[in-house]
Copies of this chain bind each other. A is one copy, B any other.
Amino acid sequence: MSDARFARTPEPPYYAVVFTSQRTDGEQGHGATAERMVELARAREGFLGVESARDAEGLGITVSYWSSLEAIRAWKADTEHLDAQASGRRAWYERYEVRICRVERAYRFER
């Protein structure tokens, strides 16, 4: 069911973290940690949802949604997440860009 791939976010305003990344070659434990990070994020106060896609060339975009900048700050400083961020720089990513955004408006289409 593809609906599970969409975040069920509330009416704006809320916040989004857009994480665009290019993977290096080789798995190196990336998948398991990525899943674990989603599991940890879901358990956090202020987490609203996440959407993620990575193509065959290893270019990925993950957008996580949060109720406040404070919730984003706290998640960035989570100990296990800090370890994952270090692994990301050491091994998993050729390059990445993180953008912290305030969602102002949203609309959707469903068949």
Residues of A within 8 A of B (CB): 2-3, 5-7, 9, 12, 16, 18, 20, 22, 51-61, 63, 69, 88-89, 93-111
Contacts and interface: CB of A to CB of B under 8 A. Distances in A.
Contact of A94 (B2, B55, B93): B2
B108 A97 contact: yes
7 closest cross-chain pairs (CB), A and B: A101-B101, A61-B61, A100-B105, A97-B108, A53-B55, A99-B106, A2-B22
- How many copies of this chain does the complex contain? 2
A2 to B, nearest CB: 5
Contact of A99 (B16, B22, B52, B59): B16
Q: Which of A2, A89, A109 has the most CB of B within 10 A?
A: A109
22 contacts: A2-B58, A2-B59, A2-B94, A5-B22, A5-B57, A6-B95, A6-B97, A7-B97, A18-B18, A51-B61, A53-B53, A53-B54, A54-B55, A55-B55, A61-B61, A61-B63, A69-B104, A95-B108, A96-B109, A97-B109, A99-B106, A100-B104
